[in-house]
Amino acid sequence: MSTSPQILIFAAPCLTKAMGAWLEHLKSERRLALKTLDAYERDLRQFCQHLTDYLGHPPRKSDFSDLKPLHMRGYLARRRDAGNGARTLARDLAGIRSFVRFLEKRGEASSAGLTAMRAPRQPATLPKPVKAEEAEQLISLNQQMHEEPWIAARDAAIMTLLYGCGLRISEGLGLTPADFHISDPAKPRASARSLRILGKGGKTRLVPVLPLVNRAIEDYVGKCPYVLKSDQPIFRGMRGGPAQPAVVQRSMRLMRGALGLPKTATPHAMRHSFATHLLGNGGDLRTIQELLGHASLSTTQKYTAVDTDALLKTWNAAHPRA
């Protein structure tokens, strides 16, 4: 989490101190992800800059004691004019609300004015998974796209892991040999039955491991030329350091180009496919929510719309009266 000097320019010292306490609260008690903290800090700093222009002086803590919808509407309009979309504006509002509620709990502000504000309407978007056969093609093509056998095995193992366990890229790249119960990389024997995944916001979940995933990991570890210590990331880059998300994304771009898949075929689409294919084969929505690590069931429910869409397309293609 950064501490920008600009925050000192656009906020009085009393407000700067309160903002620091709020961010520490979000970090230590709410356990928000660092990227979320950075975004909230940046959004609040920009709002303070707006208030500086509006009030004619850097805002003080007392200026937040009773913010009106008028203040927020002017700020959101300014942000919209600068080209920011509905998702960004909603996050702006959420961050400012969080700060004001923090002050309210300390008896230093009222959130009544902001409670009356509605968040900007979000565009309807659905997850874009790849089909089951396309997921298999992406995994198998990995083994043919690289001259280095261990790189090919690594990328195939990562794709198998993302699709087989429904992980985010960062979650997969953070795993170690110990997570797969590999004690001797020279004789790899992956025997993990489940993985303990640390997800967004510090939330931990257990994800079952398919034998197919263990075999892909064994193949990669057996071919990797670097020493893989049990407590260090299992996936390595070309020079031996931890593999970066950009490496996986670049590999996916090459493969989707070779297979003629759309730009929506990303590493994260493998996670979407995991959820959609489970749901399509009778998976329970609550269980899928736990496997994905979603805090809200409404996030997981988006996959029901994706699956319904796929069923309707099949019906339209196959029904003699369609």
Three-state SS at 204:
strand
* CATH class of the 6-115 domain in this structure: mainly alpha
Tell me yes or no: is domain 132-313 CATH 1.10.443.10.
yes
Domain residue ranges in the chain: 6-115, 132-313
Query: What is the per-residue pLDDT across 167-217, written as a single tens digit (0 to 9) for each?
Result: 999 999 999 999 999 988 778 888 999 999 998 878 899 999 999 999 999
When the pLDDT of each residue in the chain is averaged and rounded to a whole number, the result is 85
Q: Is the pLDDT of residue 8 over 80?
A: no
Distance of CA 261 to the CA centre of its chain: 23
Which residue in 242, 231, 245, 243 sits closest to 179, CA to CA?
Answer: 231
pLDDT of residue 308: 65
d(Cα 175, Cα 155) in Å, to the nearest integer? 14
Query: What is the per-residue pLDDT across 278-320, written as a single tens digit (0 to 9) for each?
Result: 888 888 889 999 999 988 888 888 887 776 665 556 556 665 6
Three-state SS at 242:
strand
d(Cα 210, Cα 160) in Å, to the nearest integer? 10
For helices 297-318 and 267-280, what crossing angle results, to 10°? 70
Question: Which 8-state DSSP code applies to residue 236?
Answer: B
Residues annotated as part of the active site: 168, 200, 268, 271, 294, 303
Q: Is the pLDDT of residue 9 over 90?
A: no
pLDDT of residue 309: 60
Query: What is the per-residue pLDDT across 89-137, written as a single tens digit (0 to 9) for each?
Result: 888 888 888 998 999 999 888 877 677 667 666 666 777 888 888 888 8
d(Cα 297, Cα 267) in Å, to the nearest integer? 23
Q: Is the pLDDT of residue 154 over 50?
A: yes
CA atoms within a 13 Å half-sphere pointing along the CA-CB vector of 86: 8
Query: What's the mean pLDDT in 47-70?
Result: 87
- DSSP run (H or E) holding 207: strand 204-208
Query: What's the mean pLDDT in 58-73?
Result: 84
Dihedral angle sign, alpha carbons of residues 274, 279, 281, 282: positive
Bridge partners, 205 (sequence order): 197
pLDDT of residue 122: 60
